[in-house]
Chain A
Amino acid sequence: MPNDKKSQKIVDIIQNAARKHSLFVLAYGTGCGAIEIPPTMTSKYDAERFGIRGMATPRQADVLLVTGYLATKTLKRVIRAYEQMQDPKYVIGFGSCTINGGMYWDSYNTIKLLDKYIPVDVYINGCMPRPEAVIDGFIELQGLIKDGKANGAEKYKENLDWYRANQKKVIKNWNMPDYNW
């Protein structure tokens, strides 16, 4: 294959189109959002017609779906799951708790902004978002992937020090392995 810019562009287009239609989701069911996943996946809304389906482990998944508030304790597990995921990987913040803390805005133990700790590609607003909104968010993500704009994982790699500093600010006992992608 000739290694010039033009052909790389064509490869990218094909690659992105393929990625767009096979999103394997690791649903990290925190908070109340996990209850919206079954109707999204099952026959009534049937997310699989968009190529969206659940996956059991982080290492096989493409999308990390964070479905609600995150206590600092849970955040530690989310970061660990996120770092184990293979490229390409995307994050969807689900519900207002991940956006601004939601109804837990004054809790002493939950984070308010998810995107300060892991890069979020798409936010789905709502408390909780209905399956239509969830699918809409996924289609938004598919659009970003198609245009090559869903580059959260690259952002994470580039600004790892900044993310680490934020993460270590809330996770005081940092005893996690380092994953190299």
Chain B
Amino acid sequence: MTDIKFEKEQQVVDQLVNTFQNLSGKVKRERRIEVSVSKKLIPSVLSYVKDQLGFTHMSHMSCVDWLEDEHFELIYILWSPELKVQLLIKTLINRENPSIENVDMIWGQLNTYQREIREMFGIQFTGMIGKEEFILEDWDEMPPMRRDFDTAEFIKEAYFERPGRDGAKNVRDEIADRSGEEIPELAKKYSRD
């Protein structure tokens, strides 16, 4: 693989690194760039790439809960129709009282994504206008997509369960026993205990 292949991608990265301080970016592969910025820079980086670099299409916005590292990672996924390059802008937010600037004035559809992330992860977007409730109705527990939300414990309390699931057999072991075969060592980790 030569660097010449990623010429247009490298150009975008260079332009971004030269414009913003504390911005690290790299070409992930052909037609994909990853950029990490601090959360304060997000509004200016987003408007810069939209107006100056031609990343006019907002594909998606997603969130990852890094429970062990105690932060959330927000990812804005953009697409440039001219360059045919996908740009991922990542930023980290502290898990304690998570909040970030609202940017739905840059792309209107961000409002929907932000409302979903607010409901599913409990991240506050300062200055966003939109009803508190999005998909869930009357939800007063912890935001359900957070990794420390114990779904198994929650459904045990909230819902009835039809008896019978507890006695479910370990299918893999049952079949191996029946046919007198032995489960190979490499497959044992997939067995139920």
Contacts and interface: CB of A to CB of B under 8 A. Distances in A.
- A, B assembled together: yes
A100 B160 CA distance: 9
B155 A106 contact: yes
B109 interface: no
Contacts of A108: 144, 149, 151, 154-155, 158
Interface string A72-100: 11001000000000000000000000011
B137 A73 contact: yes
Nearest to A73: B137
A72 B137 contact: yes
A99 B162 contact: yes
Contacts of B160: 111-113, 116, 166
B137 to A, nearest CB: 4
B138 to A, nearest CB: 4
Size bracket, chain B contacts: 10 to 19
A107 interface: yes
A56 to B, nearest CB: 25
Contacts of B152: 106
Given A73-B136, A73-B137, A173-B138, A100 B164 contact: yes
B68 interface: no
A172 B161 contact: no
B109 to A, nearest CB: 23
A109 B161 contact: no
Contact of A173 (B137, B149, B158, B161): B137
A74 B128 CA distance: 28
Interface in B135-156: 136-138, 140, 144, 149, 151-152, 154-155
Contacts of B155: 106-108, 112
B165 A111 contact: no
Interface in B108-140: 136-138, 140
A109 B135 CA distance: 11
The B interface is mostly helix, strand or loop, or mixed, namely loop
Given A106-B151, A106-B152, A112 B161 contact: yes
Contacts of A107: 151, 155
Given A73-B136, A76-B137, A109-B144, A170 B151 contact: no
A17 B155 CA distance: 43
A169 interface: yes
B159 interface: yes
A18 interface: no
A171 interface: yes
A169 B157 CA distance: 10
B148 to A, nearest CB: 13
Contact of A172 (B140, B149, B164, B165): B140
A162 interface: no
B165 A105 contact: yes
A107 to B, nearest CB: 7
Nearest to A99: B162
Contacts of A109: 136, 144
Interface string A116-158: 1000000000000000000000000000000000000000000
Contacts of B165: 100, 105
8 contacts: A106-B151, A106-B152, A107-B155, A108-B144, A108-B149, A112-B162, A113-B160, A169-B158
Given A76-B137, A105-B161, A106-B151, 13 more contacts: A72-B138, A99-B162, A100-B161, A100-B164, A106-B155, A108-B144, A108-B151, A113-B159, A113-B161, A166-B160, A169-B158, A170-B158, A173-B138
